[in-house]
Structure 1
Amino acid sequence: MGGCSATRYLNEDQALVKKVKLKGIDNDLKESASLYVQQEIRPNSWFNLALYNMLNTSNGKYRTGRVRNIGEAPHLLDSSLVDISRREIEKFLVYKGFFNADVKSDIRVKNKKAYITFTAEQGPAFSIRNFTYEIPDTAVRKLYEKHRPSFTKIRSGNRYDIDSAMNEINSTYNLMKENGYYDFLKQYIHINLDSTLYSGRVDLKFQIYNPPGKSAHPVYFINNETTVEIKNSNGRTRNITPDSGIVDSSLYFRDYSHRFRFKPLSRYIFFRYGERYNASRENLTYDRLYELNVFRSIKIDYEKDPDSSSLNVHIDATPLKRMSNRVEGEYTFNSGRNGFNIANTYTNRNLFGGAEQLDVKLRYGILFDSREGRKLLGNVFNRDFQIGVNLIIPRLLVPFNIPSKIGTGIPHTTFSSSMQVFDQPGAFRNRLFINSITYDWLQDKNKLHSLTPVNIEYRDGMLDPAFRDSIRALGYEAYIRTNDRRYFNIGSMYTFTYNANKLNTYGDFFYFRGLADIGGNTLGLFTNIFKFHRDSTGSRTFMGLPYLQYAKTEIDLRYYKYFRGERQLVVRLNPGVVYPYGNTDEIPFERNFYAGGSAGVRAWQARSLGPGNYNRASLKDEETRKNFTYLDQYGEIKLEGNIEYRFKIMNNFIGSKLKGAAFTDFGNVWRLRENKDVGGGEFYFDKFLNQLALGAGAGLRFDLQYFVFRLDVGAKIKDPQFTGSKQWVIKHLFNRDERDAFKDEYSRTNAPDRYRFLQYNFGIGMPF
């Protein structure tokens, strides 16, 4: 694609725009000024242009009919668009205070390639000399004088620019709307500019006019008649007798859906009798009612009382369907193993009439192994059944008094209970029960806190007796201690997330998510006081079961860089560590980290990478390798990283927006302590960089607006299970004889594992 020159498809009188330069513009303004260059004459993205050329050319020319909407059509030189861009850049400089700015354009064409240069003579920057204001309404003038220092950007000596003037207008308008001036219009505000001075300075005069025929702006107050009308989910009220009620002597409810309790809803309606009209309270009411996730539409209207300067508030709300059901499924395949996962989520959005949400989730997955020649359905490799129930209440339920306002948004209390039943016939079975209470609240729109003070967990893991005896005979005692165990755990977790609300937007920003998980400290304290009983292994027990003690932390740090035209670069680093102590020597399987998968190092299947330089050929025989699959490749330390470039390919592809991605991933997991069963798996500072796996690939994202369907293909470049130069497995990928010989040798030493240079990942949603 890189070798296909787009110019060979052009007519003799056409030229492809290859470069646009801006000269003579201050560096702090140049990037903003470049946005005024018309999109049609900006240089193409080479990748999108190559895609367009592949599918829209024939016989050395561009198609004139049946043009496929994929990639990006060539941006051709158009002198009229160049002139429009020149005038817009000049206008931008004038807005920034360069009133005498003059911009010229120069076009150079060579070999059907156009190079455009915009050269500006900015002239002197006009600065503000005097700022005066004229406000005949004394009440409005006092309000403006009191609050202006908190929002103004207009100061004597600063360079004049239109943005500062518009900020003065918009901030004043918002100030009026938040202090009772319901009828106030932006047209009442005007800024006069006097730039006839020869000294390069301007005088500004700020004015707020009175309404026509009036000597002052009227102030409105909220009346004692705020009505809330709730339709049924179909938006109907006819022939339905509503539930009615009054809360706080001023909120009148009529509920035609017969689903809501009025007292809980009143917490999120912020109009109060006798207070001044305030637009921010209206916006806050909108935000909170929508955050409850029970209303499809909300509309707030006002009615003026003809006998007074008061407003009657009317809130019209239409709820969502009370109950919904969502079914999801996926199909997985890798190296002869095929299977599916199917999940069902039932949601009740208003369980007790106060916007409480109940989620019941069921998930069943099964994986078949067809590599032994038997029919697919006749060889189940593993089965996984999960059920979870979450009850989400829109407030913090705590046994002590807390401030009525904690941050922004609606806080939530979540009661959660889940069970997992996992079976890998002939090898391992696991039963896991978890119950927890979690509090979520927003410090501000960008900062989310999540605290789980109580997380109670019971786990019953058991190796198949025959398998356990066989691996004990082979000396793999560590696997028995890790997996063949029952335990009880009481822990606490805290998560802080920054900028999660920006993940589906374009812009330059950092995202951060940090997790702290601590288990067993409370039980450890009681152990020291009451001297709990010890089991045969020497571990203290609670209710007859050993309990865990550990500390775990994980960080997800990302940087999103936006390049115009729905192009974005994402750089991600994801380290983590878990440390057992006190009553615990080995962290159980579920608490450890694994590498690979559709959101990690995508050239490897999940749980098939690492730890360190570990190679499964060290296991004694083929049967042991088969039974240990997914059970031996984990660690207490994790480091993964990703670099992904995202771009749009076409706007409409079978009803979805088609986007592409190119990525590079790296990472691995390690053990904290040396383990003879996992050779090369321990972490050392002087070795871990050489043990990082490296993969690269490309993917497609089908954006259906409500969700994204994703396909990624990752290729292994450097595989740490090998040593020295043999780690660079990418050298075998493009030579068929070498590739086949390498895979045959791997099958001989690592059977039943097969080596795959490429890994396909299907998923719902973005990987990160």
Structure 2
Amino acid sequence: MRTPFSLKNHTAKIGLLLLGIAITSCNALKRVEDDELLLTKNTIYADGEKVTSEDAQSLIFQKPNSALLGYPLRLHLYNLAKKDPDSSYQAWLHKNDKREERLNNLLSKKQVARLGESFMVKGYSEWLKQIGEAPVIIDTSRTRKSLERLKAFYGGKGYFNANATYELDSSKRKQRAAIDYQLTLGDPFIIDSFSKKISSPAVDSIYQLNAKNSLVKRGRQFNIADFNNERERLTNIFRNTGIYGFQESSISYEILRDTTKASDDQKLDVEMSIQDLRKRDENTVTTSKYYVHRFKKVNIYADYLFDTNEDSLQSIDYNNYTIYYKGKLRYKPKALTDAIFIKKDSIYRELDRIRTYRQIANLNTFKYPNIDFIVDSTQSKIDANIYLSARPKYSLQLDTDVTHSNIQYAGLAFSSSLVTRNVFGGAETLSLSARGSVGLLSDASLSDEKYVTEIGGDINLNFPRLWLPFISTNKIIPYYMLPQTKISIGTSFQKNIGLDKNALNTIYGYNWSPTETKRHNIELINIQYVRNLNQDRFYNVYNNSFDRLNNIALDAFESDPTVSEFFEEDNLQLSIPDGTKGFTEAVLEEGRFNLSPDNFSDVRSLEERRVRLTENNLIFAGNYTFTKNNKQGITDNEFYQFRMKIESAGALLSALKNVIPFSQNDNGKNLVFGVPYSEYFKTEFDYIKHWDLARSNVIAFRSFFGLAVPYGNSDNVPFVRSYFAGGSNDNRAWNAYSLGPGTTENLNDFNEANLKLAFNLEYRFPIAGDIKGALFADAGNIWNVFDDVENPEATFNNLSSFGDIALGTGFGLRYDFTYFVFRLDTGFKTYNPAEEPAKRWFRDYNFGNAVFNIGINYPF
């Protein structure tokens, strides 16, 4: 029987109603005096056109209080604070005379005052003021300063005779006003002629070779940004064509016109001057010509300590470098010189100095180097001294963690790693790591024992170059691209976790970065071998699969009681593993029980899935990944990232099948070490874009497409190479592995497929202090395609399958700890393709069916 009103079912609505009442009851003018105006909006107009440029908006001194979806939350938080918390404390004491008398007997007045300062009222008020925002009261003196800034801004664009005024619009709401900044620009000034005056002949010669790309040219509108960019361009050219120590301040421009007088002639004459090098001593300033410098000698000090007596050092000459060392040289000379881009008899280039710093850091053997240049008396020769300070030969790291999962109530995990540097004398790095965990088993049906354990280890060897025996790769991929070779082997052993897997992984690959934004990664060999030790435990682990099979057996039992031979003795439930195995064989191989077509199809798909997830896997693959990321530092909120990955598995082995006589299993699959190797082709595209909307408001977008196609020796893609949907970094309205494939819903415990589409859109905004907020929409799904899955609800069939794309929306709270962000997101199922078509929209759009996700850092 349904009651007219259920408090339980309307809790969320009541909470939202109370929140709305609390918000609308706040008074934004609480701290605004009668003769003051609260600033609500700034608008800039240039020649009648509205200006939305962030550069122009940033010049205004006073900005309205920040708003969250149009609501000034921080202003209202500030208004909630007590104006004078000390007086509140005194009022509280007067209302409690006995308490005041008791306090006065125990404490002096000064002590009582100190106690009042620490009283909760004041602490709460100060906290509200700290996270809140004081009302922005219009100050006309600051408004006039903003006008001057705007005039200067447009003056820098050539509008020297611009006029600026402002108007206050206070007619719309009481004690509130918006400010309109009006600028009349007029005609811009144009560069009519350009001349130069260069003192140093060497600089003049270099300039002539690069003048055609000048940003300051005749006929262009005057723009101060062009002059600044041209100064930077020329400085970069001079410093990379031999002019050591070139000063950007040597370049200056002179405007040969009185721009303060109005005239119909809007033309300018510009003269560029490049002066000589200026040196400042204690009392005098001297000048000297700039010269093209060449390196006379390059010295490398290996394992250098600044208190080292250089007379005690030994030295060797190698490839036009002199290497100094003490005792015994621990590094191969070639390993040191390959990291140095400064060469004897070459001209000075700032780029070579920067590349030397980067490559030495890439060796992971030395601390940040010190490079010293000494110019001789002729002002044309340089001695370069490169001081290298070694990192510790060995370093050890230990980590521990407390864990919890659906397999274990509580667990303790540990890991340790030992790093050895300069293993073979060529700045190679060897890393040995071990990890392990032990926990209390949460489900007694999974094992007779109480504990779960996992141990593993890895060996990683990194070379700071592309290592190919007997082949030189430096001309193909130079050292300034920071090439690395990675060789790794790892293994892990699980007990009472799933099917108890033993795994072995081996990788041999290369990576390099041709620019700061681009990165290439090639894994020539990526081998993964997975062995399942307890295959009979499948139906203990995958409960959804067991429930489906057991329900089919119960349906069959109603018409054929002989099904009971597969049940446990005490109840109508298939025994594991004998009952599940016997019932499946009776249905599929013996044709017993006369099941419906749907039930027969389900038994067949369950058996196919059981075989797939319990069989051992051998993946012999290679892949290539290209990444481009133009993000400039952690504070950059206007960037994009693109990643493309291509992977092929099993192709090489299949190419050898005519040479090597592989053995085969009953299904005709080729075996390597008794295991059918996987054969598939996989490709992925991932694109991320961030837009900075100013004032820490950001829109972030991500799109992902992934497809893995099995062929040849495989009918499906291995579980470890397939895709899943849902989770804190995917569609946050569904738990991980619970979305899809297609229109199915929680078909298996871990739902996966070989085709994935995902789209994420997120609006991020500040709330108060280090507390951030987000509104998001996540769309996507997974499907089976080109494999052995025949369920039409789980497969991608045609364009109509795009209707299976699920949509989740929600909100999130984040706390910024500077070095990382703690994230809590709440997702609601907005469009659920697993429901009937008429019930897909907003069916579970409530807090009772919401999914809560905890994560570290942003999802993308």
Structure-2-length-normalised TM-score: 0.75
Question: 2-side partners of 1:596 and 1:119: how far apart?
Answer: 51
Question: Post-superposition shift, 1:478?
Answer: 1.0
Question: Post-superposition shift, 1:33?
Answer: 4.2
Corresponding residue number in structure 2 for 1:58 = 80
Corresponding residue number in structure 1 for 2:301 = 228
Question: 2-side partners of 1:369 and 1:48: how far apart?
Answer: 50
Question: 1-side partners of 2:648 and 2:300: how far apart?
Answer: 48
Amino acid paired to 2:779? F
Question: Post-superposition shift, 1:327?
Answer: 2.3
What's the secondary structure of 2:794's corresponding residue?
A: coil
What's the secondary structure of 2:141's corresponding residue?
A: helix
Question: 1-side partners of 2:580 and 2:189: how far apart?
Answer: 83
Corresponding residue number in structure 1 for 2:427 = 355
Whether 1:603 aligns to 2:766 is no
Corresponding residue number in structure 2 for 1:177 = 239
Distance 1:190 1:674, change over 3 A: closer
Amino acid paired to 1:565? R
Amino acid paired to 1:181? I
Corresponding residue number in structure 2 for 1:199 = 265
Question: 1-side partners of 2:752 and 2:384: how far apart?
Answer: 60
8 Å Cα contact 1:183-1:218 kept in structure 2? no
Amino acid paired to 1:389? I
Q: How far does the alpha carbon of each residue in 1:291-339 deviate from its partner, in whole angstroms, 9 at most, with x for none? A: 3344443332222334664222233444444524252646445799766
Larger fraction in helix: 2
Corresponding residue number in structure 2 for 1:210 = 276
Corresponding residue number in structure 2 for 1:45 = 67
8 Å Cα contact 1:445-1:501 kept in structure 2? no
Whether 1:304 aligns to 2:304 is no
Whether 1:23 aligns to 2:45 is yes
Whether 1:662 aligns to 2:775 is yes
What's the secondary structure of 2:859's corresponding residue?
A: coil
Which region of structure 1 is more displaced relative to structure 2, 493-502 or 19-28?
A: 19-28
Unpaired stretches in structure 1, ≥5 consecutive residues: 619-627, 652-656, 740-755
Question: 2-side partners of 1:592 and 1:62: how far apart?
Answer: 62
Write out aligned runs for 1:373-412 (5 A).
Answer: 384-399=454-469, 400-404=471-475, 406=477, 408-412=480-484
Match of 1:642 among 749, 760, 768: 760
Question: 2-side partners of 1:509 and 1:183: how far apart?
Answer: 33
Corresponding residue number in structure 2 for 1:497 = 627
Q: How far does the alpha carbon of each residue in 1:366-407 deviate from its partner, in whole angstroms, 9 at most, with x for none? A: 776757899x99866x75544333222111112434343627
Amino acid paired to 1:189? I
Question: Post-superposition shift, 1:53?
Answer: 4.4
Question: 2-side partners of 1:257 and 1:327: how far apart?
Answer: 36
Question: Post-superposition shift, 1:412?
Answer: 0.9
Whether 1:131 aligns to 2:201 is no
Question: Post-superposition shift, 1:524?
Answer: 1.3
Amino acid paired to 2:806? A
Question: 2-side partners of 1:39 and 1:706: how far apart?
Answer: 31
Q: How far does the alpha carbon of each residue in 1:2-43 deviate from its partner, in whole angstroms, 9 at most, with x for none? A: 744562333234433322111126979751542443364245
Question: 2-side partners of 1:675 and 1:183: how far apart?
Answer: 68
Distance 1:8 1:324, change over 3 A: farther
What's the secondary structure of 1:288's corresponding residue?
A: helix
What's the secondary structure of 2:53's corresponding residue?
A: helix
Question: 1-side partners of 2:287 and 2:787: how far apart?
Answer: 85
Question: Post-superposition shift, 1:694?
Answer: 3.0
8 Å Cα contact 1:388-1:417 kept in structure 2? yes
Whether 1:119 aligns to 2:182 is yes
Question: Post-superposition shift, 1:67?
Answer: 4.0
Question: Post-superposition shift, 1:639?
Answer: 1.7
Corresponding residue number in structure 2 for 1:101 = 162
Corresponding residue number in structure 1 for 2:30 = 9
Corresponding residue number in structure 2 for 1:91 = 152
Question: 2-side partners of 1:221 and 1:539: how far apart?
Answer: 66
Distance 1:405 1:126, change over 3 A: farther
8 Å Cα contact 1:397-1:413 kept in structure 2? yes
Whether 1:570 aligns to 2:570 is no
Distance 1:524 1:227, change over 3 A: closer
Which region of structure 1 is more displaced relative to structure 2, 131-140 or 690-699?
A: 690-699
Question: Post-superposition shift, 1:559?
Answer: 1.2
What's the secondary structure of 1:688's corresponding residue?
A: helix
Question: Post-superposition shift, 1:638?
Answer: 1.3
Question: Post-superposition shift, 1:198?
Answer: 4.2
What is the alpha-carbon root mean square deviation over aligned residues? 3.7
Write out aligned runs for 1:251-262 (5 A).
Answer: 251-254=322-325, 260-262=331-333
Which region of structure 1 is more displaced relative to structure 2, 31-40 or 281-290?
A: 31-40
Q: How far does the alpha carbon of each residue in 1:422-462 deviate from its partner, in whole angstroms, 9 at most, with x for none? A: 4556x623222121211111232222111112222322235
Question: Post-superposition shift, 1:584?
Answer: 0.7
Amino acid paired to 2:269? D
Question: 1-side partners of 2:84 and 2:403: how far apart?
Answer: 40
8 Å Cα contact 1:674-1:682 kept in structure 2? no
Amino acid paired to 1:482? R
Larger fraction in strand: 1
Corresponding residue number in structure 2 for 1:767 = 859
Question: Post-superposition shift, 1:662?
Answer: 3.1
Write out aligned runs for 1:494-533 (5 A).
Answer: 494-499=624-629, 501-502=631-632, 504-530=634-660, 532-533=662-663
Question: Post-superposition shift, 1:265?
Answer: 2.2
Corresponding residue number in structure 2 for 1:585 = 715
Length, aligned pairs only: 724
What's the secondary structure of 1:18's corresponding residue?
A: strand
Question: Post-superposition shift, 1:200?
Answer: 0.6
Question: 2-side partners of 1:459 and 1:147: how far apart?
Answer: 60
What's the secondary structure of 1:166's corresponding residue?
A: helix
8 Å Cα contact 1:41-1:78 kept in structure 2? no
Question: 2-side partners of 1:718 and 1:424: how far apart?
Answer: 38
Distance 1:676 1:379, change over 3 A: farther
Whether 1:680 aligns to 2:740 is no
Question: What fraction of aligned residue pairs are identical, expressed as a percent?
Answer: 25
8 Å Cα contact 1:7-1:15 kept in structure 2? no
What's the secondary structure of 2:297's corresponding residue?
A: coil
Distance 1:79 1:93, change over 3 A: same
Question: 1-side partners of 2:348 and 2:187: how far apart?
Answer: 45
Q: How far does the alpha carbon of each residue in 1:269-309 deviate from its partner, in whole angstroms, 9 at most, with x for none? A: 22222333332222222222233344443332222334664
8 Å Cα contact 1:368-1:377 kept in structure 2? no
Corresponding residue number in structure 2 for 1:162 = 224
8 Å Cα contact 2:415-2:434 kept in structure 1? yes
Pick the structure with greater CA Rg. Answer: 2
Question: 2-side partners of 1:26 and 1:144: how far apart?
Answer: 42
Amino acid paired to 1:665? D
Amino acid paired to 2:460? N
Write out aligned runs for 1:225-374 (5 A).
Answer: 225-228=298-301, 230-231=303-304, 245-254=316-325, 260-306=331-377, 309-322=380-393, 323-325=395-397, 327=399, 329=401, 331-332=403-404, 342-364=414-436, 370=442
Question: Post-superposition shift, 1:191?
Answer: 1.2
Question: 2-side partners of 1:524 and 1:357: how far apart?
Answer: 35
Amino acid paired to 1:636? N
